Structure 1
Amino acid sequence: MPGGFPFGDPQQMAQMLRQFADMMAAQPAPGAPSGEGGVSWDVAKNIARHTVSAKGDASIGPIDNAHMQEALRLADLWLNEATTLPSGVQTMEAWSRSEWVERTMDTWARLCGPLTSRIVESMGQNLPEEMQSMAGPFMGMVRQMGGMLVAQQAGQAIGELAREVVGSTDVGVPLAGEGRAALLPSSVTEFGEGLGIPQDEVRLYLAAREAAHHRLFSHVPWLRSHVFSLVEEYALGMSFDMSGLEEKLGHIDISNPEALQEALSGAEGGGLFQPEDTPRQKASLARLETALALIEGWVSTVVDASVTDRLPQAASLGEAMRRRRASGGPAEQTFAALVGLEMRPRRVREAAALWTALGEARGMEGRDAVWEHPDLMPSSADLDDPDAFVHGGAGTGMPDIDISQFTDAPSTEGPADGTKDEGEAGTDAKGDDTG
């Protein structure tokens, strides 16, 4: 590019900024100020709702609501025989996809806030010095433009996700708050299409997964904040190569919503913003992946134990869920669209194998006791060698650990999955994960 400036030259950049200013002045106010980092999550919510409604979204009738509540209630009872953790379900609901967007957006804002804020900050910080001095008063506008672009992409990704999720916990955490269990009847129906399995079995299987997540998060008090802190750690280590953004924006008219939407979606699935692969990024990603894999692996283990003897097609339903994850499930697609973060299905299978082996060696009580403190949790290395974790102590079973040495209010700072430093996560966190 001439002179090393993005978008060709300083005059082109200034013209683009003025065009953006005119566009923003012509638009009605979104109804709420921007959120953290300049991203308006009200705008993101509106875009997500539009994405959902554009493809149709049936309202929930009393029959669907009754079916979902009945399935959640029964499946939650079955879990009593598969885990020592008591029920965490406080309310049982059936949602439309638009209702899912409305009731989960606050958690999305908190979960993605650190990530999206880093993107917006990078748009101003990574401009060349010559461009910063030229832009001068336009620098605030640059970040405002970044906030708009991020809100657009976040809303699009969450709206697409709403068409795939079956409940409130698909991404690994209860998005509507602990104890608020919900299923989406239209998505439950679509999950069962082509499987040749009765709908009541499909509902019960998915209800068991929803209820199992709520048991875990309701009775492991440090877990939710731990996941959020790992996401924030990942965000703090972000570094962006803005050349890709500059190249894409240099070829579109930002006042053209269709052109902007096409760039946001990204023909290759990456969207506008892609973090660079750095050692710190890979280490943070490995810790986050391990935590999410341990959650999903435990849920899969207890659900299988609770439904195997009750649902004739339990094995087929479990396989359908594994294929769904392996082909890129909702959580992976949303995080990948927002910031390039991809979860590895391989780690989930290994986590499930570890929890199963632990239950066989120590029983249900010993397996679930591992959740009592973050320092007891398996590490990424333990997923590679579960036998060492399960039989690492004298005799059989896990090493005996005195819980009293820990405080009653454990800190969530730092890795709680056992990862000690960046060197321990030296493998490429975005490598082939289909093994």
Structure 2
Amino acid sequence: MSNDPSTPSGSSGDDGLPEDLARVFRDLNGGRDLPPEVVDQLKALGITDADPAQVAAMTSQIQAMFAPGAQAKGVDVTKATSAAREAVTESDHAMGERELGLVEQATRLAALWLDQVTSLEAPALTGRALSRQEWVEATMPVWASLVDPIADGLAAAIRDSFTSRMNGPGAPDLQALGMPPGMDLSMLSQQMAPFVDRMASTLITGQTAQAVGALASDTLTATEAGVPLVTDVVALLPGNVAGFADGLDVDLDEVWLHLATRESARMRLFTAVPWLGPQILAAVQAYARGIAIDTDAIDAAVREVDPSDPGAIQEALTGGFLNPTPSPAQRSALTQLETWLALAEGWVEHVSVQATKNQLPTTSAMTETIRRRRATGGPAEKTFAGLVGLELRPRRLRDAASLFAALEERVGAQGRDGVWAHPDVAPSAADLDDVLGFVERTAAGESSASEDLDAALESILREADERGDSSGGDEDDSER
């Protein structure tokens, strides 16, 4: 076989193989020439007589399979977005001018109502109507960031399984695979690493597209899941809102106003409390990063397929390989996530009720309807739960809403919103267990702070008076 780099592309080397293809096989064998037996088998397959275009296509496919690419790990956002958009194309809702304007009007009215009940502000926010496809495109980057840790874990598990199979005691019989002794399987397993990363990326990308597409058909507002998927608009999905309103004994315009007020409140919270959104995202990622991959299932799938058939490998690995038993670290992340979600949604619910109770006659009924919707979830949410192993659900919503209501009664709206000043002073899971205790501690802290401020002001004024007296006495002495 010729190793002369000057050999023209597509021409035959000394062994008669097309040079481009021979170079790929040499790379897979650690840069060494292939054993003569392997060359003879490749010739027997008719490679030397194949059409040059077919050889070029085969070479390109092999190189793409094993060479690192621009998207070798994690979720391919572009492909996931395209697949999810395609999934909702036929069912997407064509929006009219009335719906486009209605979101803007409802958002402006909600802003006026919220200004009366909270000091948290987000003056730059505007209303926007989104189709399902637009919601997919706007939110996919955040969903992908939450799923990426799972793709990394899956790729590592598959790599370990292949390496163990090729290099361990249970290594495959070379003769049975049609390869004579002399092939360096350890080198081949290293060369397969980019391919495995890409395969895991393809699997996770497809599952992410399916999950986000399902959510796009169900979500009413851009951030209804409680995750800061967008940060610059108050967005509603008119098609989904219309479907939701069909089953309610509430005028459609009122449904719009209720949802716009809640979404506006949620966006105010994420905007005015900049640490909250990153904390929620970090908790989801921490949970996903700790997910254990069922390596026994991976090993079983790898044993069942022909390593020379990438399609069969990918098909075998489409099953579920997430270990359902959470680790201690995951349980801690889940507790923190559920607490943040409950607190955020509890504040949003309480503030929205305060803003609309004197404006919309159906506030109580709509509040309970939305609360049940968030508590029970639906098929779309379960689809995403199957992907990351958890449900984005504020399980302690009632406790959190009660906490903020009690805070407002005890320390006023300013004190209620003041607990968002820093994560160290925000309520914890333990505080949701002892709402009254937290309220009293917060009130006592505010009282103490007020007393300290009064004492400081009194001290400053007293020192100023003493300096004035001293200055005045010096002037009198000099005059005498």
User: After TM superposition, is the score higher than 0.5?
Assistant: yes
2:232 corresponding residue in structure 1 = 179
1:37 corresponding residue in structure 2 = 73
1:51 corresponding residue in structure 2 = 87
Instruction: Specify the code of the residue in structure 1 equivalent to 2:216.
Output: A
1:295 corresponding residue in structure 2 = 344
State the distance in 2 between where 1:179 and 1:349 align. Answer: 28
- Matched residue SS, 1:71: helix
Shift in CA distance, 39/399, structure 1 to aligned 2, threshold 3 Å? farther
* 1:63 matched to 2:102: no
Contact 1:389-1:398 at 8 Å conserved across structures: no
2:477 corresponding residue in structure 1 = none
Shift in CA distance, 379/129, structure 1 to aligned 2, threshold 3 Å? same
- The counterpart of 1:139, out of the listed 172, 193, 199, is 193
1:213 corresponding residue in structure 2 = 266
* 1:157 matched to 2:211: yes
Shift in CA distance, 116/378, structure 1 to aligned 2, threshold 3 Å? farther
Shift in CA distance, 291/126, structure 1 to aligned 2, threshold 3 Å? farther
2:407 corresponding residue in structure 1 = 358
* 1:373 matched to 2:419: no
State the distance in 2 between where 1:97 and 1:314 align. Answer: 27
State the distance in 2 between where 1:223 and 1:36 align. Answer: 31
State the distance in 1 between where 2:304 and 2:372 align. Answer: 38
Deviations 1:345-400 (A, max 9, x none): 4322221121111111111100101111111111111111111111126x757785
State the distance in 1 between where 2:402 and 2:345 align. Answer: 11
- Matched residue SS, 1:182: strand
Shift in CA distance, 64/392, structure 1 to aligned 2, threshold 3 Å? same
Instruction: Specify the code of the residue in structure 1 equivalent to 2:212.
Output: I
- Matched residue SS, 2:360: coil
* 1:383 matched to 2:432: yes
1:334-353 equivalences in 2 (<5 Å): 335-353=384-402
State the distance in 1 between where 2:303 and 2:364 align. Answer: 51
Deviations 1:53-87 (A, max 9, x none): 2x421232211101121111111211112211123
- Matched residue SS, 1:372: coil
Contact 1:82-1:306 at 8 Å conserved across structures: yes
1:275-424 equivalences in 2 (<5 Å): 275-328=324-377, 332-333=381-382, 335-392=384-441
Q: Residue 233 of structure 1: CA displacement?
A: 2.5
Shift in CA distance, 45/385, structure 1 to aligned 2, threshold 3 Å? same
* 1:105 matched to 2:140: yes
**Which runs of no fewer than 5 residues in structure 1 stay unpaired?**
1-21, 405-435
Shift in CA distance, 77/113, structure 1 to aligned 2, threshold 3 Å? farther
1:431 corresponding residue in structure 2 = none
1:128-277 equivalences in 2 (<5 Å): 129-131=164-166, 135-176=189-230, 178-244=231-297, 255=311, 271=320, 273-277=322-326
Shift in CA distance, 143/387, structure 1 to aligned 2, threshold 3 Å? same
Q: Residue 260 of structure 1: CA displacement?
A: 5.6
Q: Residue 231 of structure 1: CA displacement?
A: 2.6
Deviations 1:256-286 (A, max 9, x none): 9xx969x96x7xxxx5544542111111111
Shift in CA distance, 387/131, structure 1 to aligned 2, threshold 3 Å? farther
State the distance in 2 between where 1:254 and 1:310 align. Answer: 61
The alignment's TM-score, normalised by the length of structure 2, stands at 0.68
Shift in CA distance, 326/251, structure 1 to aligned 2, threshold 3 Å? farther
* Aligned residues between the structures: 370
| More deviation, 86-95/283-292 | 86-95
Contact 2:100-2:129 at 8 Å conserved across structures: yes
Contact 1:52-1:162 at 8 Å conserved across structures: yes
* 1:122 matched to 2:157: yes
- Matched residue SS, 2:283: helix
Structure showing greater radius of gyration is 2
Contact 1:39-1:117 at 8 Å conserved across structures: no
Shift in CA distance, 144/359, structure 1 to aligned 2, threshold 3 Å? same
Q: Residue 320 of structure 1: CA displacement?
A: 1.2
State the distance in 1 between where 2:292 and 2:226 align. Answer: 25
Deviations 1:138-185 (A, max 9, x none): 333222211111001001000000011112111213322x23111110
